[in-house]
Amino acid sequence: MKIKALNGFKDIVPGEVELWQKVEATARDIFARFNFNEIRMPILEKTELFARSIGEATDIVEKEMYTFADKQITMRPEATASLLRAYIQHGLHVQKPIQRLFTIGPMFRHERPQKGRLRQFHQLDVEVLGTPNPRVDAELMAMGAMILEELGITVSLEMNSLGCPICRPVFREALLNFIDDRKDALCEDCARRSKTNPLRVLDCKNPTCRKQVEEAPSIQEHLCSECDEHFNAVQGGLTQLNVQYSLNKFMVRGLDYYTRTTFEFITKDLGAQAAVGAGGRYDGLVAKLGGPKVPGIGFAMGLERIILLLQQQEESADNTQIDIFVAGLGEKASELAFPLAHKLRGEGLFTAMDHEARSLKSQMKQANKVNARYVLIIGDNELEKGTAVLRNMESQEQQEIAITSLSTELLSIILPHSTGGNPAQTHDN
């Protein structure tokens, strides 16, 4: 019997690994531009670290952790807790009052595997420790946006504020009251957790829960003056850095440790696995883990989801159409085809040609491969007659065009319907 990898665990083989290398290299390059240092932590940690930081009443700690040794040891489900543990353990705050750290590596969560959701997955994780400055919040979001943008991935950035230990309890109370009246309509998880963790109900993905919370009170309207000021300053920073964002009062994130700013990079192209990256501020967490009283903020991006998006783009890139393939058959004909193709390109047509002047059959094959809408065939016979043949690849119709007026004729036939290099298969969106 053949032995296969475990469900939810994946090999990254040649052919795919190059994409991973590209993503990691891009991220590392941008981390360096933003003055971040790398840190690497072990994969195993004491279970207590995650229970204390992520929170007991969260999906991760309740049901997603790989634990063993009598549940005392856990394979890290995320990077922030481990990174802070290392930061505290090595007194990194003494070396530098503000630490800007990143790490890249595998995380483990026992969830139902799907496209973009694995049991071993990989994150790019960044954390800035030691400053409450709202500019850092904006700068981090801008850095995340820059990574995705340089990779050619389109996302939307959503953000919210979760307030602080002063204003959140007030909001929590208002939310509890609101939820209490609707408890019977909530999903099992939310009904059970609504008392201990009412905020989680706000971002439950269950459609009935979503409907129930539509009119829920907004945390943004319950912020204390300091949190409100911070929230506004973050938005001002994003505007200064020209980063597009929208506010989402439902975004609370699945981890308990967040304060003030939270944000997600969202894609429309991966179904339920919509979050490409997510993060936020956690001003009380370092102290809670036994470290100095320093604020912090960070985010993590899922590499698998980034890779999937890049692969989807590659497929559609393979689908791009070109306007015309210029097939010169024989030496003389390609002598004519060469500057003609250049002229057409200068006029805006997406044009391909074969410099080797191969056989008609071979050139038609190439034309098909690049999805050419038209093929212009210039052969010796045609040259003698002073004409070339234009073949419409879709309708299979052919027409003769006089060599003397080739480029003007071609432009008038093709240019009004130029593909613009667009995918052949048009999508509805």
List of residues contacting ligand ATP (CB under 6 A): 78, 109, 111, 116-118, 121, 123, 254, 273, 275-278, 300-302, 304-305
- Give the residue with the Cβ less far from ligand ATP, 123 or 212: 123
- Give the residue with the Cβ less far from ligand ATP, 203 or 382: 203
Q: Side by side, which strands form the sheet with 66-68?
A: 44-46, 73-75, 66-68
Q: Report, in Å, the least distance between residue 27 CB and ligand ATP.
A: 13
- Give the residue with the Cβ less far from ligand ATP, 109 or 391: 109
- Give the residue with the Cβ less far from ligand ATP, 8 or 132: 8
Q: Report, in Å, the least distance between residue 62 CB and ligand ATP.
A: 12
- Give the residue with the Cβ less far from ligand ATP, 245 or 325: 245
What gap in Å lies between CA 248 and CA 226, rounded to an integer?
20
Q: Side by side, which strands form the sheet with 351-353?
A: 351-353, 322-328, 372-378, 387-392, 398-402
Count CA atoms closer than 13 A to 6's CA, side-chain side.
10
Place of tokens 């497929």: 315
Q: Report, in Å, the least distance between residue 9 CB and ligand ATP.
A: 11
**In this structure, are residues 144 and 301 in contact, taking their beta carbons and an 8 Å threshold?**
yes
Q: Report, in Å, the least distance between residue 3 CB and ligand ATP.
A: 23
Q: Which one-letter DSSP state was computed for residue 363?
A: H
What gap in Å lies between CA 270 and CA 27, rounded to an integer?
21
Q: Report, in Å, the least distance between residue 278 CB and ligand ATP.
A: 4
Given CA atoms 93, 99, 103, 108 in this order, what sign does their dihedral have? positive
> Pairing between strand 99-108 and 120-129?
antiparallel
Residue nearest ligand ATP by beta-carbon distance: 302
Longest CA pairwise span in the chain (Å):
89
Q: Report, in Å, the least distance between residue 111 CB and ligand ATP.
A: 5
Q: Report, in Å, the least distance between residue 301 CB and ligand ATP.
A: 6
**In this structure, are residues 21 and 303 in contact, taking their beta carbons and an 8 Å threshold?**
no
**In this structure, are residues 87 and 258 in contact, taking their beta carbons and an 8 Å threshold?**
no
- Give the residue with the Cβ less far from ligand ATP, 53 or 363: 53
- Give the residue with the Cβ less far from ligand ATP, 129 or 308: 308
